[in-house]
Amino acid sequence: MAKRIGIIGARGYVGSELIRLLAAHPQFELAFVSSRERAGQRLSDHEAGYAGDLVYVSYGPDEAAAQGVDALVLALPNGKAAPFVAALDAVAPDTVAIDLSADYRFDDGWYYGLPELTRSSYSGQRRISNPGCYATAMQLAIAPMRDALEGAVQCFGVSGYSGAGTTPSDKNDPDKLRDNLMPYALTGHVHEREVSRQLGHPVEFMPHVAPHFRGLTITANLHLASEFTREDVVARYRERYADEPLVRVADAAPWVSAIANAHHVDIGGFTLSEDGRRLVVVSTEDNLLKGAATQALQNLNLAFGFDETAGIPL
């Protein structure tokens, strides 16, 4: 029997991507999609990849928790998840909750769902926090060298404006972004704190928004405690991700234009300083997919014991 999934915040970019993935999944079915703005409208009128007869609903926390779904995905802005989690805890504690916001990424009671790095710590938890988009790219770029690091890692990031969501702001205004690169939150960004916590090592992150819609790139500057050759470095990355279909390691630096609509992360461009103790690595991903919806599907698959890449186009 298919597992029934509900989505709260289904109107946003990530919710839309997840709807398409779930609609094509062999073992999941959409139970409901909730959006205050679209309540009563047919889902198929907004999502071309969906052929069913669902209409958008507008469920509050108690209504959502009472639907008897196997999993509830919270695709909400930061700071909005807690009432839905509290309602699940009260009446449906066994329902899997996948939170796509930052609200529970610092909560040790939740499984932090970056499967390529954390699946060994999954032991049936019903509360799963999806990592941030930038945080995913940064951690995957840094993790293979974690034991060799000396000093803070610096990461320069550029994302398409879909990362700023659908609520109008300077960061998702195409007119203001045209021919522009907009820096923001240059210290203390939530993804900076998230990555530093998860890796147990200081990471300094400088994010920017660009005029393109989707896809992000980070350039990571790693100081190393001992000398490495490029061959040693590339071998580390290839070995670490040899069995990870959603992480691809290449010699050349990946281009963000090539990652749009792809479900994996590209890592490459390995460049060492003359003394072999400074390494620069480039990582790209689609911020709406592996940075959000695709990773949520990985975590749903993991939670229900399915193949982790089930329903994910490889």
Q: What tokens were used for 99?
A: 């939170």
Residue 213 has pLDDT above 90, yes or no: yes
CATH architecture, range 133-287: 2-Layer Sandwich (3.30)
pLDDT (0 to 100) of residue 160 = 95
Find the range with the poorest average confidence among 7-16, 65-74, 125-134, 197-206: 7-16
What are the residue numbers of the active site? Answer: 133
Q: How confident is the model at residue 171 (pLDDT cuts 50, 70, 90)?
A: confident
- C-beta separation of 265 from 140 below 8 A: yes
pLDDT at residue number 163:
82
pLDDT band at 250; cut points 50, 70, 90: very high
Whole-angstrom Cα distance, residue 220 to residue 253?
Answer: 12
In three-state secondary structure terms, 5 is: strand
3-class SS of residue 1:
coil
Residue ranges of the domains in the chain?
3-131+291-303, 133-287
- Mean pLDDT over 238-250 rounds to 98
Copy the structure tokens of residue 277.
């103790």
Pick the CATH number of 3-131+291-303 from 3.40.50.720, 3.50.50.60, 3.10.100.10, 3.40.309.10: 3.40.50.720
Q: What percent of the chain has pLDDT over 70?
A: 100
In 10 A of CB 55, how many CB atoms?
Answer: 15
Average pLDDT value over all residues in the chain? 96
Residue 276 has pLDDT above 90, yes or no: yes
At 233, the pLDDT band (50, 70, 90 cuts) reads very high
Angstrom distance (rounded) from CA 162 to CA 154 = 24
